[in-house]
Amino acid sequence: MALSPEIHVVQVVAEEMNSDDLMHQWNKFVAEPSRQAGRPVPELTVIRSPYREFFGPFLRYVRKLSLHHHGRQLAVVIPELVEVRWYNLFLRHRATLLKTMLRLQGNPQIVIINTPWYRKETHKKEESEIIR
């Protein structure tokens, strides 16, 4: 939220899966804390996608947003899970694929920001391995 007062959060949910979207928890964990901090509330967009397709619906959303905000830079923040073991990197390559697909669009308006995402249990395992 320090990057811009206008934040769009996108969640792509597979239609056939019985999973909750973020809307149920949005007010408690995002909207209310944002208001209390005196910041604008980020906009949540939930995209229902058939066949568990993620990339197509997300890329269409980014393209539509870039057309709507023509002349402005768009920063796409991509969290990338930091793995403890080097060989786990090959199992989780979605972030790399998404960055590549965004670059292939050839839109200079879109800036890609990669940010590490540490799970608490992953970080604790890593610390204990370093200590040994």
pLDDT, tens digit, 9 for 90 and up, residues 43-95: 999 998 888 788 889 999 999 999 998 889 999 998 877 777 766 666 567 77
Select from 108, 37, 111, 129 the least CA-distant residue to 75. Answer: 111
The answer to whether 82 and 117 have CB atoms below 8 angstroms apart is: yes
Give the pLDDT confidence score for residue 86 in this predicted structure: 66
Dihedral class, residue 23 (left if φ above 0, else alpha if ψ from -120 to 50, else beta): alpha
Question: Is pTM, for the whole model, over 0.85?
Answer: no
Give the pLDDT confidence score for residue 45 in this predicted structure: 93
